[in-house]
Amino acid sequence: MRLPLRTVLLLLLLVCCGCSAARYDLPLFEYNAGGVVLWKPCSRAQAEVLATGKNDSDILQSAACSAWLLESGTVKSADYAKQSQAVLRQFLQKKPDSGLGHYLLAYLVAKEAQLAPVKGLDLVPVMEQEALLASKLAPEVDFGGPDRMLGELYLKAPSAPISVGSLDKALEYYEKAVKVAPDFAMNRLGLATALLEDDEQEKACAEYKTAISSKSYHEKLLKVDACEKLVKACSAKK
């Protein structure tokens, strides 16, 4: 049976983004966002209790816990990702200026897209919108996380009219992420990957060299397909 073009492009997007179980082995770096700690190990029960809290920090910590459960592979359910968004959406109706809230919502939508591929392309505009708001309101969150997320989204998504993919935008937002957190390896590796796609091998390898020299570098970061291409290109150049 021949797959529809939309399905083929979606599967390609998911493969390019490294959305397989192998990504669960990537290192997660804790980030304290004013008392709300991202990528801190927690349990599903803790997330549920926090979701009923009255404080803003409780709601945000619940969403952060859900994000960790999904990213670590502890929970592998698109329904859970969608359910986790509900409380956060209610919070954002009251606190629309919460950059952290918009960032976490973008992340939970991204996890839903990964775990429910059929809805993937339809969720891309939602991810983009929430990440753009986060970039505007709190670009520093998660070591430049909003801009890094946008960089990856624009780099990996199919281009118009299928989706929002744009190499120029990918470069723009990865550069913003590097300016926000220049010592965070993932930002520079993302920029290096985008530069390589733009046939700027010398600049790409310079960013790669800086990335692997940073304190936040971990060899597992290079296991993603796009980074393996980068390693091969820069090793050949050397």
pLDDT in tens, 102-150: 999 999 999 999 998 888 888 999 999 999 999 999 999 999 999 999 9
Is residue 175 pLDDT above 90, yes or no? Answer: yes
> At residue 159, what are phi and psi to the nearest 5 degrees?
-80, 175
pTM (2 d.p.): 0.89
Is residue 20 pLDDT above 80, yes or no? Answer: no
CA-wise closest residue to 163 among 194, 128, 121, 127: 121
**Where would I find the beta strands (DSSP E) of the chain?**
31-33, 36-38
Q: Are 60 and 51 in contact (CB under 8 A)?
A: no
Q: What are the angstrom distances between the C-alpha of 93 and each of 86, 88, 90, 100, 136?
A: 11, 9, 5, 14, 17
Q: How confident is the model at residue 237 (pLDDT cuts 50, 70, 90)?
A: low
Does the domain at residues 5-181 carry the CATH identifier 1.25.40?
A: yes
142 vs 64: CA distance, rounded Å: 11
The predicted pLDDT at position 6 comes to 42
Is residue 49 pLDDT above 90, yes or no? Answer: yes
> 46 Cβ partners below 8 Å, 6+ apart?
65
Q: What are the angstrom distances between the C-alpha of 153 and each of 42, 100, 157, 169, 214?
A: 27, 18, 6, 9, 24
Q: Are 113 and 119 in contact (CB under 8 A)?
A: yes
Per-residue model confidence as pLDDT tens digits over 178-214: 999 999 999 999 999 999 999 999 999 999 999 999 9
Is residue 58 pLDDT above 50, yes or no? Answer: yes
Compute the mean pLDDT over every residue in the chain, rounded to the nearest whole number: 88
Is residue 159 pLDDT above 90, yes or no? Answer: no
- Amino acid, single-letter form, for residue 214: S
Positions of CATH 1.25.40 in the chain: 5-181
Angle at 213 between CA 229 and CA 13, to 5 degrees: 30
β-bridge pairing 36-38 and 31-33: antiparallel
Q: Are 165 and 156 in contact (CB under 8 A)?
A: yes
